[in-house]
Amino acid sequence: MQFTQIPYQRPDIGSLTKRMNALIIDFNNANEQKQVELVDEINKLRNHFETMYSYASIRYTQDTANKQYQDEQDFFDANEPAYTGLVTEFYRALTQSKHKTGLEKKFGKQLFSIAEMKLKTFSPEIEPDLVLENQLSSEYTKLIASAHIQFDGKELSLSELSPYLTSHERETRKNANIAKYKFFTEKSADLDRIYDELVKQRTKIARKLGFKTFTELAYMRLMRHDYNAAMVKNYREQIRKYVVPLVSELKAKQAKRLGLDKLKFYDEALLFKTGNARPKGDEKWMLNKAKQMYDELSPRTSEFFSYMLDNEMMDLVSRKNKAAGGYCTFLNDYKSPFIFANFNGTMHDVTVLTHEAGHAFQGYSSRNYTIPEYYFPTFEACEIHSMSMEFLTWPWMKLFFEESTDKFLFEHLVGALQFLPYGVTVDEYQHWVYDNPDATPVERKLQWRNIEMKYLPHRDYDENAYLQSGGFWQQQGHIYQSPFYYIDYTLAQVCALQFWKRSNDDRKSALKDYEDLCNAGGSQSFLDLVKLAKLTSPFEDGCLEGVTAEAGKWIHSIDDSQLN
């Protein structure tokens, strides 16, 4: 069914509650075979609620000013915690079943690991607190989407401003950045208030559930049961030791390439004096090229991308009041992924398409699991699919960039490395914030600046008061909406760089392991999925050192002065 033909009806939370509770009572009193059947019935109810939730959320992010879907988003913000409570009771019944051993054989141990962690993250007494957390998160989305920036004689969204931020004219990109951060300066008080309330609300929830800090609860929410904060801290240190020096060297080379004595913050996005690589056509043109690329990549990717096109499961163009960023979600009842993005004429149109297509391909590959928990794995494993797809499609980048392909490949790999220090900056900052929940907004910004200088020593804000005071993080939506998620991108990037190396050495083998990984969906934990894909864990000593050396070797083999 095409996306526009999907019928929407707001779920009746009262009827859902009554039906779910009745099925759980039946489950508790049933034999093993009957319990298996009841799990399927319960999952049908869950799939329908989650389908309507995903659909309403897509519609809301497509136009945050649409009153109908604002109301639907408000409904789900208010009722999602009650739904979470119902699923938690299902998890409780599942883990306490006298037939647990047989059910584990039927559904896999990962479901029970997820259930046990979810039970620790919810209690009926926190439902009102979760409603407020949802509402604050939606308030941030709406605030960022409200940006109407006057520039170049036009009224632009943040996404539409992006091409100016990478202009090869230094004055243009400087003034575009000034315009961008003028918006954030004007909204800084609101951004401070929303985050302050979120931190305090999340801390309150964590303490009600018996956790010392929200950090512990956040790790449990993210279903991290095979690694912990201490392992992440050591991982961050490996990035500081092995990646930061290389990135600083690459920034110095970038300044030289651009003919500058020193990079300012508004120079960082421009890698080449004549301008960064840009795709050579519009959305329709790029989709045609993407169709050719996925037809040639493998029979499975060809089938997948044709499905996405035929069923209109993509919304890719920027427009007024559209939410910022990109994502892939899933419509359970239709076993269908949906891709949301904001094309703006930069190289990121191609990387966001391949990135979100990686998510979608995995969702498409594992869509026939009967367990909703297995449609997608935990976030850090999800990001392996997306970031690896960016690299597995390298041989087809000439379709999009033509004579600028070498520029794109250089910028993409350099960008992958440069992202790692920024990613762990976001992570370390969040650890500090939730360890110090009573810090003031000013103290938070000062701490951001301190951590930023540790991992991003090259960054020069050229006396921009907002950024010098530590405001850069307020544009990073994950910090507001998905706490502690961001480190997952870096873990996945390290895995994706391994797929990049392997695809250069043995493309057929790398693609097979990638497709096997996608087929597994969320049926295993992060480290088990890494092992399944024949990758080295990012937490393993030597992994980061090796990955950095391989990428650095490729970059140093390129005469970047010839790319200008």
Task: Give whole-number Cα distances, 381 to 224, 303, 359, in Å.
Answer: 11, 23, 10
pLDDT in tens, 175-210: 999 999 999 999 999 999 999 999 999 999 999 999
Q: Are 464 and 229 in contact (CB under 8 A)?
A: no
How confident is the model at residue 324, as a pLDDT? 86
pLDDT of residue 375: 97
- Compute the distance between CA of residue 295 and CA of residue 305 in angstroms, rounded to an integer: 8
The CA distance from 311 to 7, in Å, is 14
Write out the two tokens for 369. Answer: 């699991």
pLDDT of residue 23: 98
Distance CA 402, CA 309 (A): 24
* Structural contact between residues 361 and 301, judged by C-beta atoms closer than 8 angstroms: yes
The pLDDT of residue 564 is above 80:
no
How many angstroms separate the CA atoms of 79 and 13, rounded? 7
Q: Which two tokens stand for residue 7?
A: 């019928």
Average predicted confidence (pLDDT) for the chain: 96
- What DSSP element (H or E) covers 155? strand 154-156
Give the strands of the sheet with 327-331, arranged side by side: 314-317, 336-343, 327-331
Domain positions in the chain are 3-116, 135-275+419-481, 283-415+504-535
Q: Do the Cβ atoms of 377 and 222 come closer than 8 Å? A: no
**Do 339 and 349 form a contact (C-beta atoms < 8 A)?**
no
Q: What is the mean pLDDT of residues 266-281?
A: 94
Q: Give φ, ψ of 339 to 5 degrees.
A: -110, 130
Task: List the structure tokens of 176.
Answer: 């575009």
Nearest to 389 by CA among 432, 419, 364, 353: 353
Per residue in 468-520, pLDDT tens?
A: 999 999 999 999 999 999 999 999 999 999 999 999 999 999 999 999 999 99
pLDDT tens column, 7-66? 999 999 999 999 999 999 999 999 999 999 999 999 999 999 999 999 999 999 999 999
**pLDDT surpasses 90 at 107:** yes
DSSP 360-372: HHHHHHTTT-SSG
Can you spell out the DSSP letters for 274-304? T-----SS-HHHHHHHHHHHHHHH-HHHHHH
- Phi first, then psi, for residue 65 (nearest 5°) are -95, 0
- Mean pLDDT calculated for residue range 299-317: 97
Contacts of 345 (CB under 8 A, 6+ apart): 163, 278, 279
Question: What is each CA distance from 534 to 109, 315, 474, 514, 531, in whole angstroms?
Answer: 21, 34, 37, 9, 5
Q: Average pLDDT, stretch 530-559?
A: 96
Whether residue 359 is predicted with pLDDT greater than 90 in this model: the reply is yes
The pair phi, psi for residue 295, each rounded to 5°, is: -65, -35
What is the signed CA dihedral for 204, 210, 215, 219, rounded to 10 degrees? -130
What pLDDT does 421 receive? 98
Please determine, for residue 110, whether its predicted confidence score (pLDDT) is greater than 90.
yes
Angle subtended at Cα 346 by Cα 340 and Cα 351, rounded to the nearest 5 degrees? 55
Q: What is the DSSP letter of 11?
A: -
Helix (H, G, I), strand (E, B) or coil at 269: coil
Q: Residue 547: name the closest of 465, 484, 469, 490 by CA.
A: 490
| pLDDT tens-digit series, residues 70-92 | 999 999 999 999 999 999 999 99
Query: pTM (2 decimals)?
Result: 0.93
Provide CATH code, domain 135-275+419-481: 1.10.1370.10
Reported confidence tier of residue 561, pLDDT bands at 50, 70, 90? confident
Is 345 in contact with 317 (CB distance < 8 Å)? no
> pLDDT value at position 103?
98
Instruction: Supply the pLDDT for residue 315.
Output: 97
pLDDT band of 325, cuts 50, 70, 90: confident
Sign of CA dihedral 240, 245, 247, 248: positive
Q: In the prediction, which pLDDT does 62 show?
A: 96
